[in-house]
Amino acid sequence: MDEVGRGALAGPVSVGVCAIDATCRSAPAGVRDSKLLSPAARESLVPRIRRWSLAHAVGHASPAEIDELGIMAALRLAGERALAQLDLVPDLVLLDGNHDWLTDPARVGLLGLLDGPAPGPPVRTMIKADLRCSSVAAASVLAKVERDAMVVARSPEHPAYGWEHNKGYAAPEHQEALRVHGPTSYHRRSWRLAGTVEEGSVP
């Protein structure tokens, strides 16, 4: 499982999941962290990843949900939505990085998970999992392609922001458009956006 869009100024945060087991053959050639691939390479990998995996899905949390819940809870919501789409229950979820954003912190005590049945599969973290684990890299590709398409589809409604190029991230043209036109409903209003009273760095 991997997330994309965490640091964007506009658009959803998205989480991809790619389920495999020992019966899956080697990953499709070229699968690696989505940030290291060109847009064309990512898109060409999607059908091959879908055929390779046992199950796959992408979940999203909207800008409004990010504003209401905060980015970490929104990541968890997107991850839960991705898992809910699978037609199987994974034995283990592997997250990229060293922070478990999928487990609800309300269920974690000083000594680990509180008593009672866990609401989902166990979660493990791995630093640079998107470089070391093909299923995590594949999940990042699926999430990146789907999220980018969602943001680009909104670009004709708000052409000044250049979303077809920057995908909602803090490119100079995007920040300048925010200063001139202000934020849209597709922006994360809780972020410190250029041109707003709270202008500054993205949290």
Annotated binding residue 96:
yes
**Cα–Cα distance, 115 to 44 (Å, whole number):** 45
**2 in a labelled binding site:** yes
* CA proximity to 141, closest of 18, 54, 12: 18
Q: Is 198 annotated as a binding residue?
A: no
Q: Parallel, antiparallel, or unpaired: how do β-strands 93-96 and 123-126 relate?
A: parallel
Alpha helical stretches, state H, 32-70: 39-52, 63-69
For residues 22 and 150, the answer to whether their CB atoms sit within 8 Å is: no
Rounded Cα distance, 41 and 88, in Å = 28
Do residues 11 and 20 touch, judged by C-beta distance below 8 A?
A: no
> Annotated binding site: which residue ranges?
2-3, 96
> Annotated binding site for a divalent metal cation: which residue ranges?
2-3, 96
